């Protein structure tokens, strides 16, 4: 019913899961991840308890193979489960129970595991592997995972059709305001083209919920500050900070207005 990839980034700083399925709100059941711990996808006849259990085992120092072994040993329904797991060091493992519905299977590579069940065929997981390995290692992990998911979808995906997709990536301090580890947490719960919609949402996530890089920061001079203030007033706001808050650009403009992201400046100047 589902195809997914779990992976660690090449730089060893991010962990994540991308998943799609002919199943309502697959993101509510399949993925889980914690920075500096690992990531898991639990699917087929999903045992959602695996998420907390696996991450606990990994947090206690277990490798992905050891954590998976513990999960399966404690679960009488192991033959109906499918799971992919990646640990803090990028060790990856996948399991497909003998009772999972065809086509079902998975594979692992350096820092990732791909798996799926009720697929059009093995070509789905092979396409996901190839797309992930072909993506540039220095790309953000979310984009590498999405490339793999899109390749699996294009190769046939879930043979019953399309309904939902999700993307979860964690990295220390990557969350909103730097106060948690959630870099990306996007879900398309019910959509005719969920992977395509997920890609659109990731673009928005990059703009609104990703901190600006040093290269994207434009220093705010006295002249630019006056320009920004005039723009905000023309838009009906008391000051530029109020405009920033209204438009949800808090991650892209300094609290003290010492810099502004080049993308936001382009919006102000009508260049985007």
- Residues 176 and 252 placed together within one structural domain of the fold: no
> pLDDT by residue (tens digit) across 216-226?
999 999 999 99
Give whole-number Cα distances, 258 to 123, 235, 264, in Å.
51, 21, 14
188 near 33, Cβ under 8 Å? no
Token pair of 268 as six digits: 């102000």
- Residues 171 and 151 placed together within one structural domain of the fold: yes
- Residues 109 and 240 placed together within one structural domain of the fold: no
- Residues 256 and 146 placed together within one structural domain of the fold: no
Q: At what angle do helices 64-73 and 49-59 cross, to 10 degrees?
A: 140
- Residues 137 and 11 placed together within one structural domain of the fold: yes
Q: Pairing mode, if any, of strands 31-34 and 38-44?
A: antiparallel
Report the percentage of the chain scoring pLDDT > 70.
Answer: 100
pLDDT at 97 over 80: yes
- Residues 11 and 127 placed together within one structural domain of the fold: yes
pLDDT recorded at residue 186? 98
At residue 165, what are phi and psi to the nearest 5 degrees? -155, 160
> pLDDT by residue (tens digit) across 37-95?
999 999 999 999 999 999 999 999 999 999 999 999 999 999 999 999 999 999 999 99
Q: Residue 112's domain is classified under what CATH number?
A: 3.60.20.10
194 near 188, Cβ under 8 Å? yes
pLDDT recorded at residue 208? 94
pLDDT recorded at residue 176? 85
Mean pLDDT of all residues in 177-206:
96
- Residues 164 and 116 placed together within one structural domain of the fold: yes
- Residues 39 and 154 placed together within one structural domain of the fold: yes
Token pair of 234 as six digits: 């023309």
Task: Write out the residue range of the structural domain in which residue 152 sits.
Answer: 2-208
Confidence tier at 169 by pLDDT (50, 70, 90): very high
């Amino acid at each position: 019913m589902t195809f997914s990839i779990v992976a660690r980034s090449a730089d060893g700083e991010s962990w994540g899961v991308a998943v799609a399925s002919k199943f309502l709100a697959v993101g509510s059941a399949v993925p889980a991840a914690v920075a500096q711990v690992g990531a898991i996808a639990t699917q087929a006849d999903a045992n959602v308890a695996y998420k907390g259990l696996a991450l606990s085992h990994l947090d206690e120092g277990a490798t992905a193979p050891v954590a998976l072994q513990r999960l399966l040993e404690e679960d009488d329904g192991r033959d109906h489960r499918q799971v992919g797991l990646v640990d803090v060091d990028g060790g990856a493992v996948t399991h497909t129970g003998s009772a999972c519905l065809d086509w079902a299977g998975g594979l692992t590579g350096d820092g990732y595991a791909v798996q799926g069940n009720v697929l059009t065929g093995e070509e789905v997981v092979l396409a996901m592997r190839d797309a992930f390995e072909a993506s540039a290692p220095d790309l953000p992990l979310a984009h590498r995972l999405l490339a793999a998911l899109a390749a699996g979808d294009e190769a046939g995906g879930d043979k019953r059709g399309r309904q939902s997709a999700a993307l979860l990536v964690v990295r220390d301090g990557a969350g909103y305001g730097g106060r948690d580890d959630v870099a990306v947490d996007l879900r398309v719960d019910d959509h005719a083209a969920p992977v395509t919609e997920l890609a659109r949402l990731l673009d928005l996530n990059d703009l609104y919920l990703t901190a600006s890089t040093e290269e994207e920061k434009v220093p705010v001079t006295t002249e630019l500050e006056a320009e920004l203030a005039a723009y905000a007033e023309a838009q009906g706001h008391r000051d530029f900070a109020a405009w920033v808050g209204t438009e949800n650009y808090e991650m892209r403009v300094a609290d003290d207005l010492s810099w502004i992201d080049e993308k936001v400046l382009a919006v102000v100047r009508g260049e985007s």
